[in-house]
């Protein structure tokens, strides 16, 4: 009985093994069937382009245009319109009104309501040196050395300017007054009549009222060739020129300014018969002494300009070369070139011509005072 039970148990135990074998056989069959894949390649035939049949287009025959011209045609006569012009006779020369000393501290100028922009160009000089220019220092006599306001009268100002010249143009003579830290480098001394307040603005001192101030220019006078010449000048109020330690021109405004500077200049006066004869700017010009320069040999030169009462200011310096014949203006005076150490820029030329009367000076012609 025990053996029969064991035999039956063996049959039951073998059943799962057969099932596993059958499962493996079927899986292998499916795998083999999946690997037997037949790929068929279909080749596409290339399409050939067949052009369309040509089309006959009719051509148009062009005809040459023909224009009929009348042989007997004549232009119509024209008439000229002629007008008679009555020529005006040359008017008498009217000299500009002299002003300056009597205008007062707040004197105005017609036509100068708008101040020019000095940001790009200034007729008092530029912000950078080119090597052969004159260094300008602005002095305000209405402030002390620290910049604080102090009382200043016209008489006191004139006396201080006089003492500066008498004491050899030394900065120590006016060291107690305010000096602007900004210096300008001028290649010409040509300031036609403008508002006197423009000068302080050029030196970044726009808050300074335009009276009782001065500018001292210092440099060297040189020419590439031997030359003999003299300055013509006009100043409102002060214009004094010193070359090699000697006064060669005092063109200050007639009256107190001229007399004070004449005393400071040891009695200097012009020796020319043409002095104070022809207008230059807003007053007559003073003729200076003859100066001779050797080629390439520089001489020290100082220029002092200044304004006493305010209102209108000018400082104009021109050059007459010995032996040169100059064109004449309506007054009969020579049209002299301005003093310059280089060719002026277009902006500077425009700034000068803006207020300078026509025919009183030549800006672009004449000698250039440099050693090359």
Q: What region, left, alpha or beta, does residue 368 occupy, with left being phi > 0 and alpha being psi -120 to 50 degrees?
A: beta
Least confident range from 10-14, 131-135, 327-331: namely 10-14
Q: With beta carbons less than 8 A apart as the criterion, state whether 297 and 244 touch.
A: no
Question: What is the pLDDT, as a whole number, of residue 38?
Answer: 43
Q: What confidence tier does 103 reach under pLDDT thresholds 50, 70, 90?
A: very low
**CB–CB of 249/269 below 8 Å?**
no
Cβ proximity of 248 and 289 under 8 Å: yes
Considering only 43-52, 67-76, 175-184, 258-267, which range has the smallest mean pLDDT?
67-76
pLDDT for residue 269:
94
pLDDT band at 70 (very low <50, low <70, confident <90, very high): very low
DSSP states of 238-273? EEEEEETTEEEEE-PPTTHHHHHHHHHTTT-----T
Prediction pTM value = 0.69
* Confidence bin at 16 (pLDDT 50/70/90): low
What is the CATH T-level fold of the domain 110-362, as seen in this structure? Answer: Jelly Rolls (2.60.120)
Confidence at residue 22, expressed as pLDDT on a 0 to 100 scale: 67
Stronger pLDDT, 312 or 102, i.e. the higher one: 312
| Per-residue model confidence (pLDDT) at position 230 | 98
How far apart CA 3 and CA 269 sit, in angstroms, is: 166
Separation in Å, CA 294 to CA 252, 299, 318, 367: 29, 10, 20, 14
Name the more confident of 186 and 24.
Answer: 186
E strand map for 2-144? 134-144
What is the distance between the alpha carbons of residues 210 and 207, in angstroms, rounded to a whole number? Answer: 9
Work out the average pLDDT over 19-26: 64
Q: Is the pLDDT of residue 95 over 60?
A: no
Identify the burial level of 336 via C-beta atoms within 10 angstroms of its C-beta, where 0-12 means exposed, 13-18 middle and 19 or more buried: buried
Is 241:233 a contact under the CB 8 Å cutoff? yes
What is the band of 49 on the pLDDT scale with cuts at 50, 70, 90? low
pLDDT of residue 359: 85
Confidence bin at 258 (pLDDT 50/70/90): confident
pLDDT of residue 60: 55
SS3 at position 183: coil
């Amino acid at each position: 009985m025990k053996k029969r039970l064991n035999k039956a148990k063996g049959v039951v135990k073998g059943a799962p093994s057969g099932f596993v074998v059958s499962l493996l056989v079927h899986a292998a069959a499916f795998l083999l069937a999946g690997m037997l894949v037949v790929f068929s390649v279909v080749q596409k035939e290339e399409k050939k382009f067949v052009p369309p049949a040509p089309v006959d287009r009719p051509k148009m025959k062009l005809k040459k245009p023909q224009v009929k011209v009348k042989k007997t045609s004549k232009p119509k006569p024209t008439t000229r319109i002629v007008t008679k012009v009555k020529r005006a006779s040359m008017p008498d020369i009217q000299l500009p009104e002299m002003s300056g000393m009597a205008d007062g501290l707040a004197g105005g100028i017609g036509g100068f309501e708008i101040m020019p922009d000095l940001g790009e160009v200034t007729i008092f000089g530029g912000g950078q040196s080119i090597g052969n220019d004159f260094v300008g220092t602005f002095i305000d006599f209405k402030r002390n050395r620290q910049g604080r306001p102090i009382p200043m009268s016209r008489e006191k100002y004139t006396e201080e300017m006089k003492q500066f010249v008498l004491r050899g143009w030394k900065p120590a003579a006016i060291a107690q007054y305010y000096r602007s830290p900004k210096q300008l480098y001028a290649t010409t001394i040509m300031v036609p009549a403008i508002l006197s307040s423009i000068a302080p603005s050029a030196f970044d001192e726009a808050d300074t009222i335009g009276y009782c101030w001065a500018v001292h220019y210092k440099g060297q006078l040189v020419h590439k060739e031997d030359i003999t010449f003299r300055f013509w000048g006009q100043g409102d109020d002060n214009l004094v020129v010193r070359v090699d330690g000697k006064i060669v021109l005092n063109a200050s405004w007639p009256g107190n300014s001229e007399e004070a500077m004449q005393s400071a200049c040891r009695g200097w006066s012009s020796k020319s018969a043409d002095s104070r004869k022809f207008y230059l700017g807003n007053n007559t010009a003073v003729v200076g002494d003859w100066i001779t320069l050797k080629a390439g040999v520089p001489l020290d030169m100082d220029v002092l300009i200044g304004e006493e009462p305010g209102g209108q200011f000018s400082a104009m310096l021109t050059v007459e070369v010995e032996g040169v014949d100059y064109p004449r203006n309506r007054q009969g005076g020579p049209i002299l070139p301005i003093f310059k150490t280089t060719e002026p820029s277009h902006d500077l030329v425009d700034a000068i011509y803006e207020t300078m009367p026509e025919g009183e000076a030549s800006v672009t012609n004449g000698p250039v005072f440099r050693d090359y």
